[in-house]
Structure 1
């Protein structure tokens, strides 16, 4: 069975060894230790898979706690109803969170568009006085 060093995994997944140690600190990865005093980390294929799933979970926006729970769920027998129900629950919560974020983003984008439109309107009507001698502050409207 193949094994990997921390450097090999870091290069393969384009992350730093520090990131891999961070996942170890959070109990997601658990390498074997070899060499004098157990200084060398050795990652079996199982740990490589856990790292791959962790990085996929991060890209999807899951928290480390959620990622760990999902990965640990598959350490027990596969395809049980309890696992699938649990996974559906996590996915539902994540979907709800992302939909709330999307609504917030859409509102924010609408506000930005309104500000942009107002700025364009003010510039187009020609009633904004240019700054004099590098004066700071808001542009002033010309008297009507």
Structure 2
């Protein structure tokens, strides 16, 4: 005999996650998640000492990590979250995001140019070093042995 009772009209429980579950899913440390919380990017509920994360927290964590991968600072990510929280129509958030993307692209293009110049300089120095080394070896090969 089954002692469990079910209530057909019961509302479904919201899906929640522990800090460990999120850490495993996103392959990051729990310390990283706590850091994002300290920075005001995540706001889990508390049950005693335990943090309880909801679907919104999970989505935000995913966006934080994507932003990090794209080179956005945590302050920039926070700014986007704040815009979304104020106006969920997304228009301001999208305009801000486009501005941030343009800034990142400009920065990356400048960095690519800087890298090209540096690589050219390194190749030039490398060629001079090889030439001097060859000259030095030729000199010592032609010296008489006593």
Task: Give TM class, smaller chain.
Answer: 0.7 to 0.9
Q: Does 1:71 align with 2:81?
A: yes
For residue 46 of structure 1, what is the aligned residue in structure 2?
A: 56
- Give me the whole-angstrom Cα distance separating, in 1, the residues matched to 2:119 and 2:139: 25
For residue 21 of structure 1, what is the aligned residue in structure 2?
A: 34
Uncovered stretches (5+) of structure 1, i.e. residues with no partner: 130-141
Rg (Cα) greater in structure = 2
1:123-138 alignment, distance < 5 Å: 123-125=133-135, 126-127=137-138
* SS of aligned partner of 1:89: helix
Bigger proportion of residues as helix: 2
CA 1:26 to 1:128, structure 2 compared with 1: closer, same or farther past 3 Å?
farther
Bigger mean CA deviation after superposition, 113-122 or 1-10: 113-122
TM-score, scaled relative to structure 1: 0.78
* SS of aligned partner of 1:94: helix
Say what the alpha-carbon RMSD is for the aligned residues.
Answer: 1.9
Query: How many equivalent pairs are there?
Result: 126
How far did 1:83 drift? 2.9
CA 1:108 to 1:128, structure 2 compared with 1: closer, same or farther past 3 Å?
farther
